[in-house]
Structure 1
Amino acid sequence: MLVDCGLREENGETHTGIEQRQKTYRQLILSLSDGGSAFSSDAIAKDRGDMGDVGDVDTNAVDTGNRSNKLAVSVAEPWGATPDPDTASSSESGDSETDPDSSHEWLPSGSVSSRDSSPHLWGSSRPHRHSGSTDPGFSGVPTPTECVRIKVPESTRGRATTRGRASIRHGVKDSGWHQGDWQPQTFPFTATPGPQNAAAELESDLPADFLELILTDDLLQHIADQTNLYAKQFFQAHPDTLPHSRGKVWKPVSVPELKTFFGLSFLTGYIKKPNLELYWSVDEIDATPYFSQTMPRNRFQLIWRFLHYNNNASQDATDKMYKVRPVLDYIVSKFKELYQPFENICIDEWMMKWRGRLSFKVYNPQKPIKYGIKSYILCDSYSGYCYNMQPDVGQARSLPDTVFSLLDRLPGHGYTLFMDNFYNSVALCEQLLKSKTNVCGTLRKNRGEPQIFRELTKSDLGVEGKLVRHNGRVLVVAWQEKRLVKMVTTCHHDTMQRVEVWQKGHKEMEVQLKPECIVAYNACMNGVDKMDQNIAYHPFIRKSLNWPKKFVAYLFQVAMFNAFVLYKARNPGKCRTLLEFMKSVVKSWTAKRHVAKEEEVGGVEVEEGRPTTRAPYNHDPSSRLDGQMGKHQLEYLMPTSKKPRPSRKCRVCARRGQRSETKMWCRSCCVPLHAGECYTAYHTKLKYS
């Protein structure tokens, strides 16, 4: 890289100051020509010290006041290169706009380029390009209109350029932005946080009662109606279903049965198995008899198959969330109705993993979940309660509209909103101030910040260095620790706070100073993370090719967590963990469902004081596969007055088309069986026929 250093004389006027600087530069060039490798930048800076303040500098040229001369420092072409005529002409006129990454347009008056002051500079013996000058006094020393080329070694270019830019960036002034006298405009918090309406009036210590404030019987009735409607539409569209198909035994689902279905679904959140069928396994190694005692496997899978949330016949093609719209709107409205967040709230994104075909599927390679359905969520920073959520379906909507729609009825109460750099901008902060809402968060480049922040790099600020500007309403802070962080806030002071942090190589926490806004951001920007962390411990979302089923399962997980927050607020000290809360809900929604109903058992004959129970011929008791072979004992049928040695048809032989009777039966299952192979097949095989 070659640097041109010289003086330009525009109007031909002569001044004592100009002559003095000409003399200084002649001495500089002569020293370089004689083999000198260094010169004093302080002397030049002192000689040019009357050229103006750092902050009053034009980036393209330095104005000397009444003087007509300008100091130009620019990047010249490499040796032997032919300059572009257009470039050359514009350079001579002084109107050229140099590249900020390759020139010294950062240099103010009264300072010298670090390239010029570098001890590694060395002169060149190549004749000057104005060697054709007829000036008899020319001997390598340029006149004010001539220029000397100085070649900068490769090893010093990057370091010198960085130091030169750092010295000017802090001197750039942005109109309307100030450095001191910052006073934040805060608003008092006027809302009453905590449970509201029905949640505040509920006097109960049963977790299921709080969950049913969100997942009400009205919502479950809607799901049951839509499920039954979809099953009816399916069978009408497929009249040629096989006679022995599982769907042939479909019967309409009711709200109590739907609660049992969802209760078992919640149970799969903390009892993990690789596939759904294993929950009904009869193998003594991995058997979970509670599932088979509560609901038959075929019935559970049949409900899951026809589970539906909206009518397909009246589908709205403009609404991409139509499949789940009634459930989504109802649950979110309950979220906002039952709870008022505390003073600090936050907005963040959440991704539900989905790699199937979907028009509004999002891909973000920087996230742990790269493919999925993205939702914007507003949470309470104190408890993690999800107050509002909106799925991202690819609508053309601005970020301010998204933020205000998530806030809903919260503006005007003095809330402090924490957001990351995806949402934040100086203009949005000023809009939220008009609605009496404080803002704090990280800031991206070109979001309305001062020019000095846009050009700031890690090398410009030392470790724990800070740069601050404000416009009277919004404060912008740049702070350097391990990396450069830019913050925007409307409610925090320009002060430093002591915090204890863990540092590598230290066994104890170290005290460190951080800006107040960064400390508050780290403490309050974790509301969505709290919720996501809790529901990630016990997820009951299962793999599915149907995205509405998976999305509603996620909504139910959020509803479970919100109900847990409401329960803790009303019953402090009980159900300390979400797992305890879920266990209680499962017991309530599946209680007494696993006990055999009266209609599942046939008539009872009493002979000699001992009952003889008959099981229905077309129905096997669910307890036959419970794996507890000790209670399934074969006994002889009790004699009667007509048959001293009675016998009945063996259930296994009858299902296999064989007419064979036995004199023994299983006392627990109330089923006549042959000893040996028939007994073993009936109690171990799902399909024994």
Structure 2
Amino acid sequence: MRFKDKKTQWENILIKDLKSFIALVIYMGVLKCFKLTDYWKRSDLYSLPYPSRIMSGRKFLNICSALHISDPKVDAENDKKKGTSEYDRLCKIKPLYQDIRDACRASFHPFQNISIDERMVASKARNGLKQYMKNKPTKWGYKLFVLADSLCAYTWDFFIYQGKANSEETKGISYDSVMRLANEKLLGSGYKLFVDNFYTSPKLFRDLLQKKIWACGTIRANRIGHSKTQAPRGNIRWFREDDLLFVEWKDKRDVLMCSTFHKAFNGDSIKRNVKGADGVWALQDFPVPAAVLDYNKHMGGVDLSDALIGYYTVLHKTKKWYRSFFYHFVDIAVVNAFILHQQMAKVNNQKPLTQKAFREALVAELVEAGSSKTHYITHYTAQKHPVPSTDSHLPKYIQQDSTLGRRKCKVCCSKTPVMCATCQVNLCFVPKRDCYSKWHERVDEESE
């Protein structure tokens, strides 16, 4: 990857620079500022020294503006196909999109209970991929169909919805999305899948059963020809149609369920607050089907994953649609890594970190990986200066008037009036920021 400085030519960046960049992206999810430039402000109101120690604000913003996921040559070839069926709308995110999906599937295998639901990535960009969902907290954005573990909320697989005009539907988007995610060749069989009424249909559940995947979900009345009936609260009606169980349960409103692995009633009950004839509210037990209890317990895998992402999301406004996906992929990777940490801690009988503490530790480790001694030597050697090994190093002021001749320190990026006369490198030389000594320690180590 490389970025273009406005004052210079294209400058290559290293993997270590990219790690430092991602560390800052995650850090900005933990500590929120209104603008990206606020992280490098010198005023007493902000005074955040950590970002400038990792990377200069100019370099970070240049990487942000130049961030590109795909090969420009491939993009150019794809742009020639606009208006044809061969045009790929996801071309600009394809490499990372596929890599993150493969990594999610390879790093964890779900427990028996799984769920499929939609997820929205917030965006108000004018893009054909953008969707509107009135029932979601994030109403405008890019829609993803997600398969998540119901127990720990791990995002195991997902795909991006490209709209009706670009989808190769065979039996409807709800049917096709479930069959695409619940791929028994990758996932395996013996799972219990929970979905909401957008997906549930007799045809889908029968086809899943042939793959040895059980299913349970709420179902729309028009899909089974159901008509409303008057009945007291807690009333249960059911019927079977080959392997499918259809259950109607009277709660505050009618609840219709379809399942391929439940009994109609197991003797379970649920408490509801009911107003009596004397006007006094009291808890009362009502019978409830097992399908309703299991659905309430296991359907929220994707919602829990969304909540974990939302607490410290790294997503911020960007003019390019594909960068929104880059930041969301970072969110998925970090939250999945946090869930794996929780699972490993549980196996080893250890107390897991909170998500905030986990992100802080992750930032620190990425910064350490991106700020080793070679990180600084690379910038030094890139300017074609020989690495001095035996020469004496002498500090000098950049100009006679030290208040005017201040330049960016090569180590900490702060302004300094001092440079090394031998290395021709600007370095801080004050008690609190002795970058002069740190730089030459690294240079000496490299020369050895």
> TM-score, normalized by length of structure 1?
0.52
Match of 1:484 in 2: 254
Match of 1:407 in 2: 182
Alignment of 1:428 with 2:207, yes or no, is no
1:461 Cα shift?
2.4
Counterparts in 2 of 1:404 and 1:476: CA distance versus 1, 3 Å? same
Match of 1:353 in 2: 122
Alignment of 1:613 with 2:390, yes or no, is no
Partner Cα separation in structure 2 for residue 666 and residue 341 of structure 1: 55
Partner Cα separation in structure 2 for residue 333 and residue 615 of structure 1: 54
1:406 Cα shift?
0.3
Residues 500 and 509, structure 1, Cα contact 8 Å, conserved in 2: no
Aligned residues: 388
Partner Cα separation in structure 2 for residue 667 and residue 512 of structure 1: 73
Residue 246 of structure 1 aligns to a residue in which SS? coil
Counterparts in 2 of 1:502 and 1:560: CA distance versus 1, 3 Å? farther
Residue 571 of structure 1 aligns to a residue in which SS? helix
Partner Cα separation in structure 2 for residue 582 and residue 504 of structure 1: 45
2:92 corresponds to which letter in structure 1? K
Match of 2:228 in 1: 456
Can you list the C-alpha shifts for 1:553-587, whole angstroms capped at 9, x where unaligned? 11111111111222222333243322222111100
Counterparts in 2 of 1:339 and 1:286: CA distance versus 1, 3 Å? same
Residue 375 of structure 1 aligns to a residue in which SS? strand
Counterparts in 2 of 1:282 and 1:320: CA distance versus 1, 3 Å? same
Counterparts in 2 of 1:472 and 1:280: CA distance versus 1, 3 Å? same
Counterparts in 2 of 1:264 and 1:624: CA distance versus 1, 3 Å? closer
Residues 295 and 593, structure 1, Cα contact 8 Å, conserved in 2: no
Q: 2:341 aligns with which of 561, 567, 580?
A: 567
What are structure 2's unaligned runs of at least 5 residues? Answer: 399-404, 419-425, 436-448
Alignment of 1:381 with 2:155, yes or no, is no
Residues 148 and 302, structure 2, Cα contact 8 Å, conserved in 1: yes
Q: 2:41 aligns with which of 266, 281, 295?
A: 281
Alignment of 1:257 with 2:17, yes or no, is yes
Match of 1:106 in 2: none
Alignment of 1:553 with 2:338, yes or no, is no
Partner Cα separation in structure 2 for residue 548 and residue 267 of structure 1: 21
Alignment of 1:443 with 2:219, yes or no, is yes
Residues 496 and 513, structure 1, Cα contact 8 Å, conserved in 2: no
**Counterpart mapping for 1:125-524 below 5 A:** 224=1, 228=2, 246=6, 248=8, 250-315=10-75, 316=78, 317=82, 318-394=87-163, 395-397=167-169, 398=172, 399-408=174-183, 409=185, 413-447=189-223, 449=224, 451=225, 453=226, 455-457=227-229, 460-499=230-269, 501=271, 503=273, 511-524=285-298
What are structure 1's unaligned runs of at least 5 residues? Answer: 1-223, 236-244, 627-631, 636-650, 652-664, 672-689
Residues 56 and 413, structure 2, Cα contact 8 Å, conserved in 1: no
Partner Cα separation in structure 1 for residue 30 and residue 254 of structure 2: 42
Partner Cα separation in structure 1 for residue 319 and residue 117 of structure 2: 27
Residue 111 of structure 2 aligns to a residue in which SS? coil
Partner Cα separation in structure 2 for residue 558 and residue 548 of structure 1: 15
Match of 1:643 in 2: none
Partner Cα separation in structure 2 for residue 514 and residue 531 of structure 1: 28
1:623 Cα shift?
5.1
1:314 Cα shift?
2.1
Counterparts in 2 of 1:480 and 1:260: CA distance versus 1, 3 Å? same
1:400 Cα shift?
2.4
Q: 2:299 aligns with which of 501, 521, 525?
A: 525
2:221 corresponds to which letter in structure 1? K
Match of 2:438 in 1: none
CA RMSD of aligned residues (A): 3.4
Counterparts in 2 of 1:348 and 1:273: CA distance versus 1, 3 Å? same
Residues 290 and 594, structure 1, Cα contact 8 Å, conserved in 2: no
1:365 Cα shift?
2.5
Partner Cα separation in structure 2 for residue 337 and residue 534 of structure 1: 21
1:249 Cα shift?
5.1
Residues 274 and 284, structure 2, Cα contact 8 Å, conserved in 1: no
Identity over aligned pairs, percent: 26
Alignment of 1:585 with 2:362, yes or no, is yes
Counterparts in 2 of 1:368 and 1:467: CA distance versus 1, 3 Å? same
Say which structure, 1 or 2, has more relative contact order (CA 8 Å, 6+ apart).
Answer: 2
Partner Cα separation in structure 1 for residue 432 and residue 311 of structure 2: 39
**Counterpart mapping for 1:4-43 below 5 A:** none
**Counterpart mapping for 1:645-664 below 5 A:** none
Counterparts in 2 of 1:301 and 1:335: CA distance versus 1, 3 Å? same
Residues 154 and 305, structure 2, Cα contact 8 Å, conserved in 1: yes
Can you list the C-alpha shifts for 1:176-215, whole angstroms capped at 9, x where unaligned? xxxxxxxxxxxxxxxxxxxxxxxxxxxxxxxxxxxxxxxx
1:584 corresponds to which letter in structure 2? A
Partner Cα separation in structure 2 for residue 624 and residue 265 of structure 1: 19
1:490 corresponds to which letter in structure 2? T
Can you list the C-alpha shifts for 1:113-147, whole angstroms capped at 9, x where unaligned? xxxxxxxxxxxxxxxxxxxxxxxxxxxxxxxxxxx
1:425 corresponds to which letter in structure 2? S
1:376 Cα shift?
0.3
Residue 404 of structure 1 aligns to a residue in which SS? helix
Can you list the C-alpha shifts for 1:610-635, whole angstroms capped at 9, x where unaligned? x8524777842275859xxxxx9x99
Residues 216 and 258, structure 2, Cα contact 8 Å, conserved in 1: yes
Partner Cα separation in structure 2 for residue 470 and residue 300 of structure 1: 61
2:262 corresponds to which letter in structure 1? H
Counterparts in 2 of 1:272 and 1:510: CA distance versus 1, 3 Å? farther
Q: Which has the greater radius of gyration? A: 1
1:360 Cα shift?
2.2
Partner Cα separation in structure 2 for residue 509 and residue 604 of structure 1: 82
Alignment of 1:538 with 2:312, yes or no, is yes
Partner Cα separation in structure 1 for residue 413 and residue 190 of structure 2: 63
Partner Cα separation in structure 1 for residue 210 and residue 298 of structure 2: 22
Partner Cα separation in structure 2 for residue 615 and residue 476 of structure 1: 83
1:578 corresponds to which letter in structure 2? Q
1:297 Cα shift?
0.7
Question: Hey, which of these two has a bigger chunk of strand by percent?
Answer: 2
Counterparts in 2 of 1:587 and 1:667: CA distance versus 1, 3 Å? closer
Match of 1:63 in 2: none
Counterparts in 2 of 1:500 and 1:625: CA distance versus 1, 3 Å? farther
Can you list the C-alpha shifts for 1:162-188, whole angstroms capped at 9, x where unaligned? xxxxxxxxxxxxxxxxxxxxxxxxxxx
Residues 314 and 330, structure 2, Cα contact 8 Å, conserved in 1: no
